[in-house]
Structure 1
């Protein structure tokens, strides 16, 4: 399953710097060259130490990591919901992504103008939120107009749907994002065909200066306070430093550079991890001499669904899954030794795949 995150932000907040750093993260992607599908789409490998462990044990012909696509969504200005700027293209692009990465400027710099005249993360967030909310309001209103007649005729389902739509309408009118509305998962079905923008999970990237990287600053604090009821994550990084980190091809040099700033990993890695946890994604592995490979699935998926990510036939003709835990693989070194030690579990259709499982599927079509 391909994962897409859309990067949004006002002009001069560091969005392009971050996107360029993402797209040129050389060391991570040695065996998966960065490719630009369109000028604004970057494919980034997901860093995973477990792949290195499996590679050293299995010594495969190739290693295939899992990837995330980042889409640089340009052209959001005030009035985008009415088609100002690249408004319509922007809204179409954002509709297609799984999550939104909203870059917000949290640093002072006399040389970089701020659209509002001063650094104000809450203002920045609200400008973009408002445009997305206005578009969502339009979508909800259209759907309400469709359902109202049926609801008036006494149709029970339509009345229930209308109630839910009104909850979302009221939130949007009050300047809140759709993701802040608490409803049961099944109640969201009425929204499925209108693809609300503000219901998508969001990661706020607080772009700070070098000196705030360890401690944060008043701008980051204000942002965290503002989004605490929003089911959102805040990741703090410095886009200018990320751009430098991306230039390193040698892992040791990169580590030394990170160390100079008191960092153990790049902000890019933090951002990718936050994307995974926000979207409830986990990774399982297949390991053989041909290839060791990481596969992305949703948390809670059962074995047949997980097998289906490799090929639909695997899901259709699923018989059983053989599962090895990574610590066991590390301890016994080979699949055969794991089998001998009784460390391969045979699981059926109801098995819920765990993060880090090494899987082998048996199927018959």
Structure 2
């Protein structure tokens, strides 16, 4: 699963990406289209539960969950018609699972805004409009082919035609596809299109150092809009975060305290992106390593085992599961078992966020 960082040119996308991935490469110059091919990176998802587990099970290694990020070039008005290499950039968005839109929420005369004025809602509208227009083009082009295939009795094509028409109707009302509830089979039939406005979205308010907590009027406008559509906003000062990312642990802590932050805003952002992607973590814990594994919300125990190794899903027998709260109460797996708190779950078990697991499988 991966999230794409998008936005207008010069809103701080690449600065944010470099900070998230702790990249120490030179920042792009202050010009549109600095990023042409998308950069990809992996960021750890901070989780204090790992440290809590290691108080009782001391491992040689701790491995947090990871999130793949893609830094996509700035989208401009007219991108859906090819402006600013827009078609190429939009194709990169089709390949991600969620969108993190960086929205400029600061004034700075030294950094040119492509529209000439800073207006978070106008920026959001430009990106959303271009993505909707691109989705319309995709669906309009796909409909004749799907209709021809459906006439031949292809059930998958029939579902595809139904999905395309429902999506076109939604877009015709100037509504993004993420608000549209489709039958799972119909959604599956059109999933190959990579429809961009169907992807979940998280807004990243890029603020300056005078509004670290995002309490200013520009962020306020963005939050009010996001609340109406059921989205989340995370305020981040990309400039400050990029400086923090370059520091060692001691200096980082000091800089955070001086800025009035308990943790880097990037930590909050990584966790929010994880939620937007519909992901959760379960843990394996032993003397070799304590590790967070990523599964979609709703995954079964065999599917979770398959994340460790594909053969584990095929050979799944059962899972032995306990909670972090039980570990903190009873102090060891042995005592958890003695207290009757070690659960044995079968193939139909739905994984819960934070489960600590041992899987038994046929080798």
TM class, shorter-length: 0.7 to 0.9
What corresponds to 1:236 in structure 2?
235
What corresponds to 1:285 in structure 2?
283
Counterpart-to-counterpart distance in 2, 1:156 and 1:276: 35
What corresponds to 1:249 in structure 2?
248
Residues 5 and 97, structure 1, Cα contact 8 Å, conserved in 2: yes
Which stretch shows the higher mean deviation, 6-15 or 157-166? Answer: 157-166
Counterpart-to-counterpart distance in 1, 2:10 and 2:160: 41
**TM-aligned CA deviation for residue 350 of structure 1:** 1.8
**TM-aligned CA deviation for residue 154 of structure 1:** 10
What corresponds to 2:32 in structure 1?
none
**TM-aligned CA deviation for residue 242 of structure 1:** 1.1
Counterpart-to-counterpart distance in 2, 1:10 and 1:157: 37
Q: Map 1:85-124 to 2 at 5 A.
A: 85-124=84-123
Q: Map 1:1-365 to 2 at 5 A.
A: 3-24=1-22, 40-149=39-148, 162-214=161-213, 216-250=215-249, 252-365=250-363
**TM-aligned CA deviation for residue 339 of structure 1:** 2.1
Q: What secondary structure is seen at the aligned counterpart in 2 of 1:198? A: helix
Structure-2 change in CA distance of 1:39 and 1:94 (3 Å): closer
**TM-aligned CA deviation for residue 52 of structure 1:** 1.6
In structure 1, list runs of 5 or more residues that go unmatched: 27-37
Counterpart-to-counterpart distance in 1, 2:314 and 2:152: 43
Q: What secondary structure is seen at the aligned counterpart in 2 of 1:86? A: helix
Counterpart-to-counterpart distance in 2, 1:159 and 1:351: 34
In structure 2, list runs of 5 or more residues that go unmatched: 25-36
Residues 214 and 235, structure 2, Cα contact 8 Å, conserved in 1: no
Q: What secondary structure is seen at the aligned counterpart in 1 of 2:232? A: strand
Q: What secondary structure is seen at the aligned counterpart in 1 of 2:100? A: strand
Structure-2 change in CA distance of 1:154 and 1:332 (3 Å): closer
**TM-aligned CA deviation for residue 82 of structure 1:** 2.9
After superposition, give the CA deviation of every residue in 1:88-133 in whole Å (9 maximum; x if it has no partner): 4312321221111110101111221111111011221122222222
Which stretch shows the higher mean deviation, 352-361 or 336-345? Answer: 336-345
Which stretch shows the higher mean deviation, 204-213 or 100-109? Answer: 204-213
Structure-2 change in CA distance of 1:180 and 1:39 (3 Å): closer
Q: How many residues align?
A: 351
After superposition, give the CA deviation of every residue in 1:212-259 in whole Å (9 maximum; x if it has no partner): 233522222222333334343211111112112212321x54333223
Residues 4 and 100, structure 2, Cα contact 8 Å, conserved in 1: yes
Counterpart-to-counterpart distance in 1, 2:210 and 2:344: 52
After superposition, give the CA deviation of every residue in 1:20-60 in whole Å (9 maximum; x if it has no partner): 1112179xxxxxxxxxxx97112111111111222332222
Task: Please provide the CA RMSD for this pair.
Answer: 2.5
Counterpart-to-counterpart distance in 1, 2:52 and 2:155: 56
Counterpart-to-counterpart distance in 2, 1:276 and 1:306: 17
Which stretch shows the higher mean deviation, 300-309 or 224-233? Answer: 224-233
Which stretch shows the higher mean deviation, 189-198 or 146-155? Answer: 146-155
Using the size of structure 2 for normalisation, the TM-score is 0.88
Residues 180 and 231, structure 1, Cα contact 8 Å, conserved in 2: no
After superposition, give the CA deviation of every residue in 1:48-94 in whole Å (9 maximum; x if it has no partner): 11112223322222222211111111142333223333334312321
Counterpart-to-counterpart distance in 1, 2:158 and 2:108: 53
